[in-house]
Amino acid sequence: MEKLFTRTTVLMILVGGGNLLAGLVFLGVVAATYGAGRSLEAFYLADAVPGFLNDRLLFGAVNIVLVPLLCSERLRANRQESWHIASTFISLLTVLSAVYVAVILLAAPVIVRAIAPGFDPEQAALTVKLLRLLSFTTLIFTVVSWMRGILHAHNVFVAPYLAGVVYFGLSALFVLVGSPWLGIWALGAGTLLAAVIFGAIHLVPLRRIRVDYRFGIDRSVVRGPLMLFFSYMLVSMATHINYLVDRYFASQLAPGSIVILSLAQKFEIPVTFIVTFAIAIPALTIFSNAVGNEEQLRDGVRNSLGAMSALAIPLISLLLVVRLPLARVWFEHGEFTLQDSLRVASVVLCFGPSFLVNAYGAILINGYFSLRAVRICLAVMAGEVALNIWLTALLVRPLGLEGIALATSLATLLTNLLLWAVLRSKLKGLGFQGKRAELGRLLSYCLVTASSFFGLRCLAGALLPGLLDGRPLPEVLFLAVSAFLLFLVLGVLFRIPEVRELVRLFQGLLRGEPASNR
């Protein structure tokens, strides 16, 4: 199981890399086209409301129901029963999504006034129009989410994430072509049209799977899956609620603050695409098959934690090291200024701890749901939101945007530490009993790798000031390539399975081995 998990993780990392690159290009195009201006600020706030649901649908909430359902040995033995329950859940989810869109269309002015009290009437009116347009993406992503759930249940991971490359590419193309005539509406309309094409691409791999979906809602079987779905939504939404709270306070600061805050949060994208879902999504299938088997579940948690630590800690360390030159390369074009890049880099540093906590949080939530310990999660996450509101109100005046980011990091860190402690108690350990050497090697690797990246930045600044100063692209390339090579060397030296598998794949590519041999 561990070897299969490692190979799936590495494959997802490679696929996520293409998705990540497309996403980075798209965000760079948006920042260069609109700058940290009022129109982009209106778009990001409008996008946050449907995004409140969209992100959870695409990245976990539907999986937590469909993957265990379609992977269950009992239900796989009775295909008709399995698909009857799945069809009921999918049908009800689609209907509820349509109702959610209708509510947004009707209540958009009230929603905007509630979450952006600092907007003037003109900016608020633009936000309302954009919100109504973008609300339709929720209906599209609802359909995409259950298609992905079916694909993941059948161990199809690559094709859905390759569709993301097309989504970001088309969105960027719409902005480049349409912005001179349509302004911010090129971004709004492009996002909606790209979402339609994004959904259509998922139909290609889905055609190879026997799908026995029939529209209909059977009340006798829907209660369990629906309660599980809503519980997961509430738990996983804590991060997004925190981000909405952040935008509420940012709307009352200087113009452009929401754009700066949103772009700083985008630094979490590499962690999300390359690491979190490369590990959390395959792990969910393993956790689902381990329900009722405490030892197997502990092994799954241990493997997931090891893979997450080996990949997330070096990646987040590198992001913090290159945050300023990366912000300049990524955003500082056209209307986006050096001062804007400096503000983004400062906020990213304060968000750093939350990036790491959220990466582990994907495993944490899967573990609790495998144990059916949902109420504990809900209570602690509600406390996290309340703590974030209190800390933000306390820190926003003296520290501004940095105070908002720091409050979010502190709230997520404290509550997640509590949840991990409870999970460890329920599982009677996290699977590292009798494996102290493995744990020590992993912790040493993480500490040495993170320290080396920060040391590399200091060394580069001291030895190559003439080459790097004022030239963000060479600095990013130098640090990224050097850090990646250091990551591979240290991973091999410390015998980290994910890194050794990655090296083996690269060696196979260089030797021209066929994919079947790799």
* Amino acid code (one letter) for 158: V
CA dist., res. 1 & res. 85, Å (int) = 29
3-state secondary structure of 294: helix
Q: Is 396 exposed, middle or buried (0-12, 13-18, 19+ CB in 10 A)?
A: buried
How far is CA 419 from each of CA 240, 356, 367, 392, 412, rounded to the nearest angstrom?
A: 18, 15, 10, 22, 10
Tell me how crowded residue 424 is: count the other CB atoms within 10 A of its CB.
16
Model pLDDT, residue 43: 92
Is 136:101 a contact under the CB 8 Å cutoff?
yes
CA dist., res. 487 & res. 453, Å (int) = 9
* Amino acid code (one letter) for 517: N
Model pLDDT, residue 186: 94
Model pLDDT, residue 62: 62
Model pLDDT, residue 206: 75
Model pLDDT, residue 174: 92
CA dist., res. 73 & res. 292, Å (int) = 13
Question: Tokens standing for 58?
Answer: 């695409």
Is 88:142 a contact under the CB 8 Å cutoff?
no
Model pLDDT, residue 292: 65
Tens of pLDDT, residues 95-149: 888 998 999 999 999 999 998 888 889 999 999 999 999 999 888 888 888 777 7
Question: Along the 518 residues of the chain, how does pLDDT read in single tens digits?
Answer: 445 445 555 555 665 666 667 877 888 898 888 887 889 999 988 988 887 677 665 555 666 666 666 655 444 556 666 666 777 777 887 888 899 899 999 999 999 999 888 888 999 999 999 999 999 988 888 888 877 777 766 666 667 777 878 888 899 999 999 988 999 999 999 999 999 998 888 888 877 776 666 776 666 666 666 666 666 676 667 777 888 899 889 988 988 899 999 889 888 877 766 665 667 666 666 676 666 667 777 777 777 888 888 888 888 998 898 898 888 888 887 788 889 999 999 999 999 999 988 888 878 877 777 777 778 888 888 899 999 999 999 999 999 999 999 999 999 999 989 988 888 888 877 766 667 777 788 889 989 998 888 888 787 766 665 555 567 777 788 888 888 888 888 888 888 877 777 677 666 655 655 444 44
Tens of pLDDT, residues 274-329: 665 667 666 666 676 666 667 777 777 777 888 888 888 888 998 898 898 888 88
Model pLDDT, residue 103: 92
User: How close are the terminal C-alpha atoms of the chain, in Å?
Assistant: 17
Considering only the C-alpha atoms of the chain, give the largest distance between any 2 of them, rounded to a whole number of Å. 71
- pTM here is 0.77
CA dist., res. 488 & res. 62, Å (int) = 35
Model pLDDT, residue 243: 82
CA dist., res. 442 & res. 436, Å (int) = 10
For tokens 């293409």, name the residue.
Answer: 18
How much of the chain is in helix, strand and coil states, percent to nearest 5?
Answer: 85, 0, 15
Residues 6+ apart with CB under 8 A from 396: 249, 253, 403, 404, 407
Question: Tokens standing for 101?
Answer: 């869109």
CA dist., res. 281 & res. 288, Å (int) = 11
Tens of pLDDT, residues 15-49: 566 666 787 788 889 888 888 788 999 998 898 88
Model pLDDT, residue 276: 59
Residues 6+ apart with CB under 8 A from 89: 65, 66, 69, 222, 225, 226, 229
Question: Tokens standing for 200?
Answer: 């259509």
CA dist., res. 61 & res. 73, Å (int) = 21
DSSP classification of residue 515: G
Question: Tokens standing for 398?
Answer: 């003296």
CA dist., res. 473 & res. 484, Å (int) = 16
CA dist., res. 30 & res. 324, Å (int) = 18
Model pLDDT, residue 476: 81
Model pLDDT, residue 515: 44
Q: Which ranges of 183-256 would DSSP assign to H, the alpha helix?
A: 184-201, 203-206, 219-236, 238-250
